[in-house]
Amino acid sequence: GKQRALIVGINYIGMKGELRGCCNDAKSIKVFLQQRGFRDFRVLTDDGQGDASPTKQNILDGFKWLVDGAKAGDSLFFHYSGHGGSLKAEAEDEKDGKDETLVPLDYKKAGQIRDNAILKALVLPLPRGCQLTALMDCCHSG
Protein backbone atom coordinates (compact mmCIF):
# COMPACT_ATOMS: atom_id res chain seq x y z
CA GLY A 1 0.00 0.00 0.00
CA LYS A 2 0.92 3.66 -0.09
CA GLN A 3 3.01 5.35 2.57
CA ARG A 4 2.21 8.98 3.34
CA ALA A 5 3.27 11.33 6.16
CA LEU A 6 2.09 14.65 7.56
CA ILE A 7 4.86 16.27 9.62
CA VAL A 8 4.31 19.39 11.74
CA GLY A 9 7.03 21.29 13.64
CA ILE A 10 6.30 24.63 15.31
CA ASN A 11 8.95 26.70 17.10
CA TYR A 12 6.65 29.76 17.50
CA ILE A 13 9.56 31.95 16.35
CA GLY A 14 9.50 35.40 17.98
CA MET A 15 6.44 34.57 20.09
CA LYS A 16 5.98 34.15 23.83
CA GLY A 17 6.67 30.51 24.60
CA GLU A 18 9.11 30.12 21.70
CA LEU A 19 10.49 26.59 21.36
CA ARG A 20 13.83 25.60 19.86
CA GLY A 21 13.84 22.04 18.54
CA CYS A 22 10.48 21.40 16.91
CA CYS A 23 11.45 22.21 13.30
CA ASN A 24 14.59 20.08 13.74
CA ASP A 25 12.34 17.26 15.00
CA ALA A 26 10.31 17.57 11.80
CA LYS A 27 13.43 17.31 9.63
CA SER A 28 14.70 14.30 11.61
CA ILE A 29 11.38 12.46 11.39
CA LYS A 30 11.26 13.03 7.62
CA VAL A 31 14.74 11.50 7.21
CA PHE A 32 13.76 8.60 9.51
CA LEU A 33 10.66 7.89 7.39
CA GLN A 34 12.55 8.28 4.08
CA GLN A 35 14.96 5.60 5.31
CA ARG A 36 11.92 3.37 5.77
CA GLY A 37 10.54 3.88 2.27
CA PHE A 38 8.19 6.85 2.71
CA ARG A 39 8.19 9.21 -0.30
CA ASP A 40 4.92 11.18 0.00
CA PHE A 41 5.21 14.01 2.54
CA ARG A 42 3.53 17.22 3.57
CA VAL A 43 5.75 19.20 5.97
CA LEU A 44 4.40 22.20 7.90
CA THR A 45 7.02 24.25 9.78
CA ASP A 46 7.44 27.89 10.79
CA ASP A 47 11.11 28.15 9.81
CA GLY A 48 10.48 28.68 6.09
CA GLN A 49 11.81 25.19 5.24
CA GLY A 50 8.50 23.32 5.03
CA ASP A 51 5.85 23.06 2.33
CA ALA A 52 3.62 25.55 4.17
CA SER A 53 3.13 27.29 7.51
CA PRO A 54 1.62 25.27 10.41
CA THR A 55 -1.60 27.29 10.70
CA LYS A 56 -4.79 25.70 12.01
CA GLN A 57 -6.29 25.54 8.51
CA ASN A 58 -3.11 24.06 6.99
CA ILE A 59 -2.97 21.38 9.69
CA LEU A 60 -6.66 20.51 9.22
CA ASP A 61 -6.12 20.44 5.43
CA GLY A 62 -3.09 18.21 6.09
CA PHE A 63 -5.29 15.76 7.99
CA LYS A 64 -7.64 15.59 4.97
CA TRP A 65 -4.68 15.12 2.62
CA LEU A 66 -3.24 12.34 4.80
CA VAL A 67 -6.41 10.22 4.89
CA ASP A 68 -7.65 11.01 1.36
CA GLY A 69 -8.00 7.81 -0.62
CA ALA A 70 -6.67 5.63 2.21
CA LYS A 71 -7.14 1.91 1.69
CA ALA A 72 -6.41 -1.32 3.54
CA GLY A 73 -2.67 -1.95 3.47
CA ASP A 74 -1.72 1.74 3.51
CA SER A 75 0.64 3.12 6.16
CA LEU A 76 0.05 6.70 7.30
CA PHE A 77 2.19 8.71 9.72
CA PHE A 78 1.36 11.92 11.59
CA HIS A 79 4.10 13.71 13.54
CA TYR A 80 3.50 16.84 15.64
CA SER A 81 6.17 18.70 17.57
CA GLY A 82 4.99 21.90 19.24
CA HIS A 83 2.87 23.15 22.11
CA GLY A 84 -0.04 21.13 23.39
CA GLY A 85 -2.75 22.45 25.63
CA SER A 86 -6.09 21.78 27.21
CA LEU A 87 -9.42 23.61 27.10
CA LYS A 88 -12.71 23.11 28.91
CA ALA A 89 -14.43 20.20 27.18
CA GLU A 90 -17.13 21.04 24.64
CA ALA A 91 -18.88 17.71 25.30
CA GLU A 92 -19.43 15.47 28.33
CA ASP A 93 -16.96 12.89 26.99
CA GLU A 94 -13.88 13.73 29.09
CA LYS A 95 -13.42 12.31 32.61
CA ASP A 96 -11.29 15.33 33.58
CA GLY A 97 -13.65 17.81 31.90
CA LYS A 98 -10.94 18.96 29.48
CA ASP A 99 -10.18 18.50 25.79
CA GLU A 100 -6.49 18.08 24.94
CA THR A 101 -5.33 20.30 22.10
CA LEU A 102 -2.66 20.98 19.52
CA VAL A 103 -1.59 24.64 19.37
CA PRO A 104 -1.18 25.81 15.75
CA LEU A 105 0.97 28.82 14.88
CA ASP A 106 -2.07 31.10 14.54
CA TYR A 107 -3.90 29.82 17.65
CA LYS A 108 -4.54 33.36 18.96
CA LYS A 109 -6.67 34.13 15.89
CA ALA A 110 -7.86 30.69 14.74
CA GLY A 111 -8.02 28.73 18.00
CA GLN A 112 -6.55 25.40 19.02
CA ILE A 113 -7.24 21.97 17.52
CA ARG A 114 -9.21 19.81 19.94
CA ASP A 115 -8.73 16.06 20.41
CA ASN A 116 -12.27 15.37 19.18
CA ALA A 117 -11.52 17.21 15.92
CA ILE A 118 -8.37 15.10 15.47
CA LEU A 119 -10.37 11.90 16.05
CA LYS A 120 -13.01 12.94 13.48
CA ALA A 121 -10.53 14.10 10.84
CA LEU A 122 -7.67 11.64 11.23
CA VAL A 123 -8.96 8.39 12.75
CA LEU A 124 -12.64 7.81 12.05
CA PRO A 125 -12.34 8.14 8.22
CA LEU A 126 -9.76 5.34 8.01
CA PRO A 127 -10.81 2.01 6.54
CA ARG A 128 -10.16 -1.29 8.30
CA GLY A 129 -6.61 -2.50 7.56
CA CYS A 130 -5.09 0.97 7.14
CA GLN A 131 -2.36 1.74 9.67
CA LEU A 132 -2.00 5.21 11.22
CA THR A 133 0.93 6.03 13.49
CA ALA A 134 0.67 9.33 15.37
CA LEU A 135 3.74 10.62 17.23
CA MET A 136 2.99 13.77 19.21
CA ASP A 137 5.76 15.53 21.11
CA CYS A 138 3.84 18.09 23.16
CA CYS A 139 2.49 18.69 26.65
CA HIS A 140 -1.09 17.52 27.40
CA SER A 141 -0.79 15.09 24.48
CA GLY A 142 -3.00 12.41 25.74
Give the residues of the chain that fall short of pLDDT 70. 140-142
Burial of 118 (0-12, 13-18, 19+ CB in 10 A): buried
Q: What is the pLDDT of residue 140?
A: 63
Strand arrangement, sheet containing 3-9 = 40-45, 3-9, 75-81, 131-137
CA–chain centroid gap for 21, Å, is 16
DSSP 3-state of 120: helix
- Tell me the catalytic residues: 83, 139
Q: What's the gap between Cα 5 and its chain centre?
A: 10
What pLDDT does residue 90 have? 83
pLDDT the model gives residue 96: 84
- Which residue intervals of 1-142 are DSSP H helices? 22-34, 56-67, 107-110, 115-118
Helix (H) or strand (E) holding 137: strand 131-137
- The whole-number pLDDT of residue 15 equals 95
pTM score, whole prediction: 0.95
Q: What is the pLDDT of residue 120?
A: 97
